[in-house]
A and B are shown apart, each in its own frame.
Chain A
């Protein structure tokens, strides 16, 4: 069909908000990237500095112009099997995406679209980063219907493939709702303490800032009668700051995952969540490439898990773009594992020689730089951590799934359907050959699994099994 005869559609005028926000975001990103240049201008052209209102005004006008032009240039067509999107002001592009190739479909309803009953449809394909399609300002019903229909468009001829019509009455095969009490835990298990660590690292990374901070703290301490009093107040402030960070994290994730509701109808899995704005994200089970159960230290204490399901492509994508179940207790985890048909894990540990790996070098360096006793202390500490790590490290291969479990305090489990592997690699070095060990790496389209310090015969047998399983499996893997 000639693309000119297609019925190109425009977005409603309200979408200007979306383009404005996206332009602002881009501008901030560019300004941030141009920061060194801006500093140079600031230093070199001091005489022109009083013109800054003009500069800001010019940027604002360009922003408005860009918003309008981007809105004008955006049009799309929905065909029976693909979506076409035309966009771009200077660099114009036309993007074609077959529904069959879509890995994940999101509907976002940001707060500024809510009064108008509009939504943003975001489609991800398996291509490299940035190949996603965003159509902002569709009506909610249209977006929902598209999300449902698109994911049911699959070229499968078999009779039992579930069509869209079958589920029109809203029956679901699997359902998971998270109550508010669980959602409140999401912020806790995100390891908010890490944020504190990063902040502290940031404070002390720069000499100027750290000396400033130390001066402030010293003068603050000096204003008290006794050191003990000051220490008490400082601890109080620290605790309060921690509480604020934690509360912030809890509120942030409470908003993001409020009313989390996961449903599966046939092959299609979808969840909806969100308090202020909402997100509905869905994918089809045949597209699944890797499943990840994660558990940080806090999550382990609370015995909660977080689940991420990864599809092909976008291995470098950020976590918030993933299909996530934010918090799972033991029972929910077993429910969802059963629905995904994960087998019972049979964990195998690896050779103990994994423990002293990367152990000697840091210890020797510390012992050399500071003093021998520090080196011994570091050696003991690292060895202890390595033992913990080794105890958590295990692999599983059974029932068509391959899995690797690892972690120090928290544990992450990565599961992949063995027949979906793309490549398997065995590597060894002189040291590991001496112990008759090697590392087995299985690459899937959603990420890799790596098992180190495996007995050579075992690794070779596993490689043979997986290769045979994959080679004889001509079903669709994505």
Chain B
């Protein structure tokens, strides 16, 4: 197989991550500052240290984590498979085949709308959190991908038969279990495609 053609998400995605970080850490930072100013009983250095730690964390996230994550975050559209990877240090690469997709969703939060980004969600039947979310797409691109995928899902034909089916043959009961075993050994365990 050839190398996977990874398509990076829009560079603006790192700004989205930065805004997210700031919105998450901001309240804690302000709370620490407020504590430093108004809380008499606490020695002032404690909330100040906390505030400094939060600030350092924020700087690290904004300067290093967000660009790193944005660099890794990318997707690949193949003939049968959608791939997506993300992560700055902890990398995750997820792949879904088209014939297992259940439904698709495009989401745009307020920050994303401001930055002109869009998020595409692909859902499978694999239980909790088994959706695949591709953030940082241009809205047109997200819609393009969605429409393509929907067209592919629609054109899909379900073949006769099931992946797991009972072994053919009507040998029965415990007494003839030997023949059952032999039959199971004879019949191909799984029909491989092509």
A interface with B by C-beta (< 8 Å): 126, 156-158, 160, 171-177, 264, 266-267, 285-286, 288, 312, 315, 334-335, 338-343, 399-401, 417-430, 433, 443-445, 447-448, 463-464, 467-478
Q: A157-B160, A338-B184, A464-B1 are in contact. Are A264 and B166 (CB under 8 A)?
A: yes
Residues of B within 8 A of A266 (CB): 166
Bound-complex Cα distance A171 to B192 (A): 30
Distance in Å from the Cβ of A128 to the closest Cβ of chain B?
9
B interface with A by C-beta (< 8 Å): 1, 79-81, 87, 89-100, 124-128, 130, 132, 156-174, 177, 180-181, 184-185, 187, 189-190, 192-194
Bound-complex Cα distance A312 to B181 (A): 28
Q: Are B185 and A338 in contact (CB under 8 A)?
A: yes
Distance in Å from the Cβ of A114 to the closest Cβ of chain B?
29
Residue of A whose beta carbon sits closest to that of B171: A173
Q: Are B163 and A477 in contact (CB under 8 A)?
A: yes
Other A-B contacts than A420-B164, A424-B95, A427-B90, 16 sampled, CB-CB below 8 A, are: A156-B162, A285-B162, A286-B164, A339-B184, A341-B167, A400-B192, A417-B163, A419-B190, A423-B100, A448-B127, A471-B79, A471-B80, A471-B98, A472-B193, A473-B163, A477-B163
Indicate which residue in B97, B163, B169, B170 contacts A471 across the interface (CB closer than 8 Å). B97
Q: Are B170 and A470 in contact (CB under 8 A)?
A: no
Q: Are B124 and A422 in contact (CB under 8 A)?
A: yes
Residues of B within 8 A of A173 (CB): 166-167, 169-172
Distance in Å from the Cβ of A82 to the closest Cβ of chain B?
20
Residues of A within 8 A of B157 (CB): 474
Residues of A within 8 A of B130 (CB): 422-423, 443
Q: Are B1 and A341 in contact (CB under 8 A)?
A: no
Q: Are A425 and B190 in contact (CB under 8 A)?
A: no
Q: Are A448 and B193 in contact (CB under 8 A)?
A: no
Indicate which residue in A334, A401, A425 contacts B94 across the interface (CB closer than 8 Å). A425
Residues of B within 8 A of A400 (CB): 189-190, 192
Q: Are A448 and B172 in contact (CB under 8 A)?
A: no
Q: Are A126 and B172 in contact (CB under 8 A)?
A: no
Q: Are B193 and A469 in contact (CB under 8 A)?
A: yes
Q: Are B163 and A475 in contact (CB under 8 A)?
A: yes
Q: Are B128 and A445 in contact (CB under 8 A)?
A: no
Q: Are B128 and A315 in contact (CB under 8 A)?
A: yes
Distance in Å from the Cβ of B137 to the closest Cβ of chain A?
19
Q: Are B163 and A476 in contact (CB under 8 A)?
A: yes
Indicate which residue in A157, A264, A335, A429 contacts B181 across the interface (CB closer than 8 Å). A335
Residue of A whose beta carbon sits closest to that of B93: A426
Bound-complex Cα distance A286 to B163 (A): 7
